[in-house]
Structure 1
Amino acid sequence: MDVKTASLFRNGRSQALRIPREFELPGSSVRIRRLPNGHLEISPLAETGLLAAFRDEPPLSQEHWMDAVPDLPAEPVDP
Protein backbone atom coordinates (compact mmCIF):
# COMPACT_ATOMS: atom_id res chain seq x y z
CA MET A 1 0.00 0.00 0.00
CA ASP A 2 1.37 3.42 -0.98
CA VAL A 3 1.64 5.93 1.85
CA LYS A 4 2.22 9.66 1.39
CA THR A 5 1.74 12.79 3.44
CA ALA A 6 -0.76 15.38 2.16
CA SER A 7 -1.21 19.06 3.00
CA LEU A 8 -4.30 20.51 4.64
CA PHE A 9 -5.21 24.15 4.07
CA ARG A 10 -8.11 26.57 4.37
CA ASN A 11 -10.25 27.53 1.40
CA GLY A 12 -12.70 30.12 2.67
CA ARG A 13 -14.53 28.50 5.59
CA SER A 14 -13.72 24.94 4.44
CA GLN A 15 -10.72 22.78 5.10
CA ALA A 16 -9.19 21.36 1.91
CA LEU A 17 -6.82 18.52 1.22
CA ARG A 18 -4.09 18.72 -1.42
CA ILE A 19 -3.93 15.21 -2.90
CA PRO A 20 -0.59 14.09 -4.40
CA ARG A 21 -0.70 13.42 -8.14
CA GLU A 22 -0.29 9.65 -7.79
CA PHE A 23 -3.51 9.54 -5.72
CA GLU A 24 -5.47 11.84 -8.06
CA LEU A 25 -9.17 10.99 -8.36
CA PRO A 26 -11.28 11.17 -11.53
CA GLY A 27 -14.21 13.57 -11.88
CA SER A 28 -15.03 16.73 -9.98
CA SER A 29 -16.81 15.35 -6.88
CA VAL A 30 -16.12 12.75 -4.22
CA ARG A 31 -18.10 10.97 -1.54
CA ILE A 32 -16.65 11.41 1.94
CA ARG A 33 -17.70 9.66 5.13
CA ARG A 34 -16.33 9.31 8.63
CA LEU A 35 -15.74 5.71 9.70
CA PRO A 36 -16.44 4.51 13.27
CA ASN A 37 -12.69 4.66 14.05
CA GLY A 38 -12.65 8.39 13.14
CA HIS A 39 -10.84 7.91 9.81
CA LEU A 40 -12.24 9.41 6.64
CA GLU A 41 -13.07 7.39 3.53
CA ILE A 42 -12.93 9.35 0.25
CA SER A 43 -14.14 7.77 -2.99
CA PRO A 44 -14.86 9.22 -6.44
CA LEU A 45 -18.47 9.68 -7.51
CA ALA A 46 -19.38 7.99 -10.75
CA GLU A 47 -20.62 10.42 -13.37
CA THR A 48 -24.17 9.67 -14.39
CA GLY A 49 -26.50 10.80 -17.08
CA LEU A 50 -26.44 10.91 -20.83
CA LEU A 51 -23.43 13.21 -21.10
CA ALA A 52 -21.31 10.82 -19.01
CA ALA A 53 -22.46 7.84 -21.09
CA PHE A 54 -21.26 9.43 -24.33
CA ARG A 55 -18.23 11.36 -23.04
CA ASP A 56 -15.64 8.88 -24.36
CA GLU A 57 -17.45 8.02 -27.60
CA PRO A 58 -15.91 9.30 -30.83
CA PRO A 59 -17.99 11.81 -32.82
CA LEU A 60 -20.29 10.39 -35.48
CA SER A 61 -18.96 10.45 -39.02
CA GLN A 62 -20.83 12.38 -41.70
CA GLU A 63 -22.36 9.14 -43.08
CA HIS A 64 -24.32 8.67 -39.83
CA TRP A 65 -26.10 12.01 -40.01
CA MET A 66 -29.60 12.27 -41.47
CA ASP A 67 -30.06 13.44 -45.00
CA ALA A 68 -31.34 16.97 -45.25
CA VAL A 69 -35.01 17.25 -44.31
CA PRO A 70 -36.98 18.84 -47.15
CA ASP A 71 -38.44 22.26 -46.40
CA LEU A 72 -42.13 21.52 -46.98
CA PRO A 73 -44.82 24.22 -47.07
CA ALA A 74 -46.99 24.55 -43.97
CA GLU A 75 -50.35 22.81 -44.09
CA PRO A 76 -53.43 24.99 -43.60
CA VAL A 77 -55.11 24.77 -40.21
CA ASP A 78 -58.92 24.88 -39.80
CA PRO A 79 -59.99 27.69 -37.41
Structure 2
Amino acid sequence: MDKPRRVRLFRNGHNQAMRIPREYELPGDEAMMRREGRQLIIEPIQTEPLRTLLSAWVPLDEGMPEIQDYPPEETVL
Protein backbone atom coordinates (compact mmCIF):
# COMPACT_ATOMS: atom_id res chain seq x y z
CA MET A 1 0.00 0.00 0.00
CA ASP A 2 1.24 3.47 -0.85
CA LYS A 3 2.28 5.92 1.83
CA PRO A 4 -0.52 8.41 2.59
CA ARG A 5 -0.05 11.88 1.13
CA ARG A 6 -1.52 15.14 2.37
CA VAL A 7 -3.57 17.07 -0.21
CA ARG A 8 -5.30 20.44 -0.08
CA LEU A 9 -9.03 20.85 -0.47
CA PHE A 10 -10.48 23.87 -2.28
CA ARG A 11 -13.80 25.19 -3.55
CA ASN A 12 -14.83 24.92 -7.20
CA GLY A 13 -18.10 26.83 -7.34
CA HIS A 14 -20.41 25.15 -4.80
CA ASN A 15 -18.36 21.91 -4.79
CA GLN A 16 -15.43 20.89 -2.65
CA ALA A 17 -12.55 19.60 -4.78
CA MET A 18 -8.96 18.39 -4.57
CA ARG A 19 -6.16 17.85 -7.01
CA ILE A 20 -5.14 14.23 -7.35
CA PRO A 21 -1.34 13.87 -7.27
CA ARG A 22 0.15 12.30 -10.42
CA GLU A 23 1.08 9.03 -8.69
CA TYR A 24 -2.59 8.54 -7.71
CA GLU A 25 -4.16 9.40 -11.09
CA LEU A 26 -7.01 7.14 -12.21
CA PRO A 27 -7.52 5.91 -15.78
CA GLY A 28 -10.38 7.28 -17.86
CA ASP A 29 -12.51 10.34 -17.25
CA GLU A 30 -15.06 8.98 -14.74
CA ALA A 31 -14.87 7.33 -11.33
CA MET A 32 -17.20 5.95 -8.64
CA MET A 33 -17.17 7.62 -5.22
CA ARG A 34 -18.63 6.33 -1.98
CA ARG A 35 -18.30 6.97 1.72
CA GLU A 36 -17.50 4.21 4.22
CA GLY A 37 -17.64 5.69 7.69
CA ARG A 38 -15.22 8.63 7.65
CA GLN A 39 -13.38 7.34 4.57
CA LEU A 40 -14.06 8.64 1.08
CA ILE A 41 -13.33 5.96 -1.52
CA ILE A 42 -12.77 6.83 -5.19
CA GLU A 43 -12.45 3.97 -7.68
CA PRO A 44 -11.98 3.94 -11.45
CA ILE A 45 -14.90 2.65 -13.48
CA GLN A 46 -13.93 -0.67 -15.01
CA THR A 47 -15.41 -0.82 -18.50
CA GLU A 48 -15.26 -3.87 -20.71
CA PRO A 49 -15.78 -3.87 -24.46
CA LEU A 50 -19.16 -5.32 -25.51
CA ARG A 51 -17.35 -8.10 -27.37
CA THR A 52 -15.75 -9.30 -24.10
CA LEU A 53 -19.11 -9.27 -22.31
CA LEU A 54 -20.89 -11.18 -25.07
CA SER A 55 -18.14 -13.80 -25.35
CA ALA A 56 -18.50 -14.52 -21.61
CA TRP A 57 -22.20 -15.40 -21.93
CA VAL A 58 -23.12 -19.09 -22.11
CA PRO A 59 -25.55 -20.03 -24.92
CA LEU A 60 -29.01 -21.15 -23.81
CA ASP A 61 -29.90 -24.81 -24.34
CA GLU A 62 -33.52 -23.89 -25.01
CA GLY A 63 -34.89 -23.64 -28.50
CA MET A 64 -37.33 -21.04 -29.70
CA PRO A 65 -41.02 -21.94 -29.28
CA GLU A 66 -43.04 -22.94 -32.34
CA ILE A 67 -45.10 -19.96 -33.53
CA GLN A 68 -47.85 -20.34 -36.09
CA ASP A 69 -47.49 -17.61 -38.65
CA TYR A 70 -51.02 -16.81 -39.81
CA PRO A 71 -51.45 -14.44 -42.75
CA PRO A 72 -52.71 -11.00 -41.77
CA GLU A 73 -56.48 -10.53 -41.79
CA GLU A 74 -57.88 -8.50 -44.63
CA THR A 75 -59.44 -5.24 -43.58
CA VAL A 76 -62.26 -3.61 -45.52
CA LEU A 77 -62.10 0.13 -45.80
Superposition TM-score, scaled by structure 2 size:
0.55
C-alpha displacement at 1:6, in angstroms?
1.2
Deviations 1:4-37 (A, max 9, x none): 11121111111111111111111111111010x2
Whole-angstrom distance in 2 between the partners of 1:49 and 1:14 = 33
Q: What percent identity do the matched residue pairs reach?
A: 44
1:1-79 alignment, distance < 5 Å: 1-35=2-36, 37-48=37-48
Given that residues 7 and 19 in structure 1 are in contact (C-alpha distance below 8 angstroms), is that contact kept between their aligned partners in structure 2? no
The secondary structure found in structure 2 opposite 1:47 is coil
**For structure 2, which runs of at least 5 residues remain unmatched after alignment?**
52-77
The alignment covers a number of residue pairs equal to 50
Q: Return structure 1 stretches of 4+ with deviation > 4 angstroms.
A: none
- C-alpha root-mean-square deviation of aligned residues, in Å? 1.9
The letter of the residue matching 2:44 is P
The secondary structure found in structure 2 opposite 1:43 is strand
Superposition TM-score, scaled by structure 1 size:
0.53
The secondary structure found in structure 1 opposite 2:23 is helix
C-alpha displacement at 1:41, in angstroms?
0.8
Q: Which has the larger radius of gyration?
A: 2
